[in-house]
Structure 1
Amino acid sequence: MMTVETRNTITNELYKFLGIPVIPDDDDGEIPDYPYVVYSTTTDNNRKGHDSITFEDTDEGFMKTYANQVGTSYSFNAHSDSRDEAIETSYKIAEFFQRVGRDLLNQLGVAVTEVSPIQNRSMMLVDHYVRRQGLDVRFNYIDASTYPIDSIENTTITGG
């Protein structure tokens, strides 16, 4: 499941790999010095069909589990005052998700299904450009919920 803890683990590991801040796009804190990376969740809870339902007899009783493969997309933007530095940082972000971070993601139960091409996302701010290069990453994970269910201990069947 892509929990807040899972997301934080991924972004912390990306920070370690890049060696620069990786912050959410709607963070109210101070903007770090260049270079840095901003991320956002662009889509979440993109369910793939209907839930599978399984039943299990456990020590705690009968349990019912609903499970589904779910997709989520994140956008990553490298910010810099240098176009080349922003591009290089975007290459490293892609490398992390395509190669270096795959084992970590696997341990977290998250699979990378697509890393988009790097795009120029620079923009003019009053009198200067903010150099931004970015890419989107699509992930899949299993979303599951387990609930206890009542069992029938005894019944009486009468005929008519």
Structure 2
Amino acid sequence: MNLAIIKEVIARIKLDTGVQIVKGNTIAPQPARPFGIYNLTSPYIKGRGRGAVTQYKEGTSIFEKRTEQYKFTISFSFYAGNVETTIESAYKVHQWFLFLGQGFIRDKNMAVVSVGNIQDRTTFLVDEYEYKHGFDVQLRATSEQIRQLAETIETINIGGI
């Protein structure tokens, strides 16, 4: 999982939509409303199989590479002082994943698997409502692992002939 790419996606969403999104479940102070939060609710969902293993040679060294595809889910929630603004913010980001951000996501070697429905996530606090709407996005990414193989003996002379 490349968390730096997730941060790039969040920054690009703000650039393209104007919606500020910060990391959720932190002790950092919340920004002024309206804003959104994101959480990686499922950082690794295993794909089928065990991945593809290939060998290649670079110079005199032999390497083994394992490539796999996996999915991960990001949950977005948008906060504001009223319901209309939360819906509007959620809708802008929802549309970004469906269309505007497709090229950017593809350039990062990922793909959108599914974009969930926008849902009311409003909660009642002690004496007031906390208005929020949100949705989940599932993305597919590729992971590669490379290791150098130990040198192998091609032939051995066991004496005699």
TM-score by length of 2: 0.91
Q: Using the alignment, how far apart are the partners of 1:60 and 1:75 within structure 2? A: 46
Which deviations, in whole Å up to 9, do the C-alpha atoms of 1:50-95 show, x marking residues without a partner?
1210111112611100111111000000111110111111111111
Where does residue 5 of structure 1 map in the other structure?
Answer: 4
Find the residue that maps to 2:37 and give its secondary structure. strand
Where does residue 82 of structure 1 map in the other structure?
Answer: 82
Where does residue 143 of structure 1 map in the other structure?
Answer: 143
Q: Using the alignment, how far apart are the partners of 1:95 and 1:131 within structure 2? A: 20
RMSD: 1.5
TM-superposed CA distance for 1:111, in Å, is 0.6
Q: Using the alignment, how far apart are the partners of 2:91 and 2:20 within structure 1? A: 16
Where does residue 29 of structure 2 map in the other structure?
Answer: 30
**Which stretch has the larger CA shift, 94-103 or 148-157?**
148-157
Aligned residues of 2:67 and 2:143 also touching (Cα < 8 A): yes
TM-superposed CA distance for 1:4, in Å, is 1.7
Query: Between Structure 1 and Structure 2, how many residues are aligned?
Result: 157
Instruction: Structure 1: give runs of 5+ residues left out of the alignment.
Output: none
TM-superposed CA distance for 1:110, in Å, is 1.1
Aligned residues of 2:19 and 2:89 also touching (Cα < 8 A): no
Label 1:134 to 1:151 Cα distance change in 2 as closer, same or farther (>3 A). same
TM-superposed CA distance for 1:102, in Å, is 0.9
Q: Using the alignment, how far apart are the partners of 2:114 and 2:157 within structure 1? A: 56
Instruction: Structure 2: give runs of 5+ residues left out of the alignment.
Output: none
Q: Using the alignment, how far apart are the partners of 1:61 and 1:113 within structure 2? A: 38
Q: Using the alignment, how far apart are the partners of 1:77 and 1:157 within structure 2? A: 69
Where does residue 62 of structure 2 map in the other structure?
Answer: 62
Where does residue 14 of structure 1 map in the other structure?
Answer: 13
Where does residue 46 of structure 2 map in the other structure?
Answer: 47
Structure 1 runs (4+) greater than 3 angstroms displaced: none
Instruction: Report the residue type matching 2:5 in the other structure.
Output: T
Find the residue that maps to 1:142 and give its secondary structure. strand
Q: Using the alignment, how far apart are the partners of 1:79 and 1:62 within structure 2? A: 53
